[in-house]
Chain A
C-alpha cells in the first residue's frame, strides 16, 4: 500500500512536468534530412528468445549508418510495458517508439498520444505501404488513420492431437470446420475412464482474444461500430457461452487456461485446443505426440482475433526523434528483416513480398502448419479500441467463469453490459 501511494505521488509529480511539456507546439512532421546525430529508444515486451532477433536488427541498423543510434529496452510483459509507457508519456519523456499489444492501445488513441504515420508514408517514396497485408494493418488503424507498423502479429489456430484422433477412429486429416463438428469430434475423443488422466475433446478458456473470436464466430459483437454502445449481452454471445458450458458440463471439454492448460496439452489430455500460431515452437519443444494445425474459424461467421503487437510512435518527442524513428521503423519492417524476424520467432510476416519470398515459402513447404495462420488471415479482425477495454474484458471473463464453472445464470451479462456502458461514457 505504501508503495502504491509512493507511485501515486511519483505520477503526480511527473504529471506537472507533463503539462509543461504538453504545452509545446507540435510541429507538422516533414521528411527532412537529419543533420545532427540522434539517439532514440524503442521499448518492447519481447522476452527470452524473441528479444535476440530484434536486438540483432537494431545492431545492424546502428551499424548501417552514422546519424541515428537506436537503443532497444526490454520493459517486461505487455501490460507492464503499457503501464511504464503511460507513466513516461505523462512525465513528458516517452521513448519515440514502443511496442504495444493489440488490445492495450485504446487509452493512447483516446488521448491523442500517438503520431499518425501517414505523413511519413506519403513523404517517403521508397516505402510502399501497399506491400503490407491490409488485414494486419487494420490492427494498427484507428478511425482510418494508421498509427503503427506490425512487429509480432499472430492469430489463434486450432492445434490437433492427431494420435488421439486416430485412437478414437477419427480421420486425423479431417479437421472440424464448425463448432457443431468440433463438439461431435470432442464427444468421441473425451474419455473419463482413467480418473488420474481424464481426456477431453477440446480445451476452452477465457483468454481475451479467444473469447472475442468465439463471440464473433457465433455472430455476436462486443460494441457497435463507433464504440458507443455495448452489444455483448446479445443472444448470440449468450448462446456461445452456453455452448461452451454444455461441453464443459458434459465433460466433453475442459475449461482450463494458463500454465495448467498448457500442461494438459503437453500431457496429451486434450484433443483440440486454440492457441497462438506463435505456439508452434512451444508444441515442437513440449509435445511428443503427432500434432497438427487447423484453422480456428469454427463459427457461422468465419472470424479470428488479431493478436500480438505493433510498433507505435509517440508524441511529446522531437521532430528529429520522430524522423529518426521513421527511418528505423522502415528498416525494421523491410522485407529482409521481416523474413529474418519471422524465421527466428515464428511470428507472421506482414509484407506480401516477404510472404512470397523463397525463404518463407520454403518454411511452408517443409512444415505446412506454419501456413494455417495466413490462410485464415482474410477472416482476421482487430481487437476492441475502447479505452476501458481491459476493465470490460475482465468483467466479461469473470462472468464466463461464473456461468461455466459456478452455474450462474447467463443473464448476468445484462448487468455487466449496463456497467460497461457506463464505462464507455
Chain B
C-alpha cells in the first residue's frame, strides 16, 4: 500500500468517523445493552438477575402483550392500504398541470412537518364527544354522534384517522417523485396508440410506479408499527387497552412499571418484526418489481 493510498484510506475513515461514533454510542451500543437487559429481571433499583428467555416466554403468555400485538396489527391494516392508495391518487392528481399546484402540495405535505404532539392535542379537542367539531359535523348532517376516544373500539379508529392524516403527505411526495421518474416516451407512445386515461394509468403508471409503491408500503408499515406520540397524547393506551399498541406498551412497562428486562424483550420483538419488513424491502425492492 503506497503512502498516498494509505493517506486516502485514513482520510476516508476520518470522514466517516463522526457518524460511526454517534451511531455506536447512541444506537448500536444501546441495542446490545438492551439485548443483554432483555435476558434479565431488573427494576432499576434492584440488582439485575439473569432469567434466560423468561421475559420472552412471559410475553407470549401475557394477554396484555397479545392485546397490544392485536392493536398494532389493526393499526397497520387500518393505515397502510388507505395511506398508500390515497397517496397514489393524490400523486397522480398532483402530477397534472393544474393552476396553484404548489399550494396543494404544501397543504398535503403540511401534516408531515407538523409536530405530532401539538397536532394530537388539537385532535383530542376535535374528537371530544360533547363539544368536538367532528361530532358537531356528524350531527349536523344527521349522522349519530360517536364516543371516539372514550370508547375502547372507536378510539383506535380515531387514531388510525390521525395516522392517515399525518402520513399521507409523505407518501404522496415520494410517489410523486416516482411518477416524475417515469420517462414520458411511454405516455407519448400510448397516446399515439390511442390509449385512454384509465388504460394509461392501469398499463403504464401503476406498473412503472410499483417499485416506489412497494417502498412506500414497507416504510408505511414500519412507521405504523412505531406509532407512539399520538397514543401518548390522546389516549395513553386506553380506554381499557383499546389503543395500547406495542411501542406504548413497551414504554409503559419500561418507564412507568420499571420492568426494564421485560420491556427490552418487547423492544426486541418489535425490532424483529420491523427487521423482517426491512429485509423484505432490501430483498424485493432491489429486484425492482416492474417491467422497465
Residues of A near any B CB (own CB < 8 A): 1-2, 4-12, 15, 79, 83, 86-87, 89-90, 107-108, 110-111, 113, 196-197, 256, 259-260, 263-264, 267, 269, 387-388, 390-391, 394-395, 397-399, 401-402, 405-406
Contact = CB atoms under 8 A, between A and B. Distances in A.
Contact of A402 (B240, B247, B255, B267): B240
Interface string B130-169: 1100000001000000000011100000000000000000
A390 B257 contact: yes
Given A9-B29, A264-B130, A405 B240 contact: yes
B239 A5 contact: no
Contact of A401 (B226, B239, B256): B239
B239 A113 contact: no
B46 interface: yes
B152 A5 contact: no
B150 A5 contact: no
A394 B238 CA distance: 10
Max count, chain A CB within 10 A of own CB: residue among B139, B151, B256? B256
A405 B152 contact: yes
Given A5-B27, A90-B44, A398-B240, 6 more contacts: A8-B264, A8-B267, A11-B260, A260-B150, A402-B152, A406-B152
B52 interface: no
Given A398-B240, A401-B238, A5 B128 contact: no
Interface stretch (B3-11, B31-39, B103-111, B194-202): B31-39
A260 B128 CA distance: 7
Interface string B199-229: 0000000000000000000000000001000
A286 to B, nearest CB: 14
Contact of B130 (A4, A10, A267): A267
Contacts of A9: 26, 29-30, 33-34
Contacts of A388: 257
A101 B150 CA distance: 26
A110 B258 CA distance: 13
Contacts of A11: 44, 260
Interface in B233-284: 238-241, 247, 250-252, 254-260, 263-264, 267, 270-271, 274
A111 B46 contact: yes
Interface string B40-78: 000111100000000000000000100000000000000
Contacts of A79: 256
B129 interface: yes
A5 B34 contact: yes
A185 B217 CA distance: 56
6 contacts: A4-B251, A7-B255, A9-B26, A11-B44, A263-B130, A405-B240
A4 B33 contact: no
Nearest to A422: B58
B69 to A, nearest CB: 15
A405 B257 contact: no
Contacts of B259: 391
A197 to B, nearest CB: 8
A107 B45 CA distance: 8
A405 B247 CA distance: 25
B129 A12 contact: no
Contact of A398 (B150, B238, B270): B238
A89 B240 contact: no
A118 B21 CA distance: 50
A83 B255 contact: yes
Contacts of A89: 45
A256 B247 CA distance: 26
Nearest to A404: B240
A12 B37 contact: yes
B240 A8 contact: no
B258 A12 contact: no
Max count, chain B CB within 10 A of own CB: residue among A8, A113, A256, A267? A8
Contacts of A15: 44
Interface in B88-125: 124
Max count, chain A CB within 10 A of own CB: residue among B27, B45, B251? B45
Contacts of B44: 11, 15, 86-87, 90, 107
Contacts of B260: 8, 11
Contacts of B129: 260
Nearest to B29: A9
Given A111-B45, A388-B257, A401-B152, A406 B267 contact: no
A87 B250 CA distance: 18
Contacts of A399: 240
B240 A406 contact: yes
Given A1-B267, A260-B129, A391-B256, A86 B45 contact: yes
A391 B26 contact: no
A263 B241 contact: no
A197 B29 CA distance: 56
Max count, chain A CB within 10 A of own CB: residue among B129, B254, B257? B257
A5 B31 contact: yes
A197 B130 CA distance: 8
A394 B267 CA distance: 21
For the complex of A and B, 3 pairs with smallest distance between CB atoms = A9-B30, A111-B45, A401-B240
Nearest to A198: B130
Contacts of A269: 130
Contacts of A196: 139
Contacts of B274: 1
A232 B196 CA distance: 69
A110 B34 CA distance: 25
Nearest to B147: A405
B148 to A, nearest CB: 10
A257 to B, nearest CB: 9
B86 to A, nearest CB: 26
Max count, chain B CB within 10 A of own CB: residue among A390, A391, A399? A391
A5 B254 CA distance: 11
Given A1-B226, A260-B130, A8 B34 contact: yes
Nearest to B148: A260
Given A6-B26, A256-B150, A390-B256, A90 B45 contact: yes
B267 A5 contact: yes
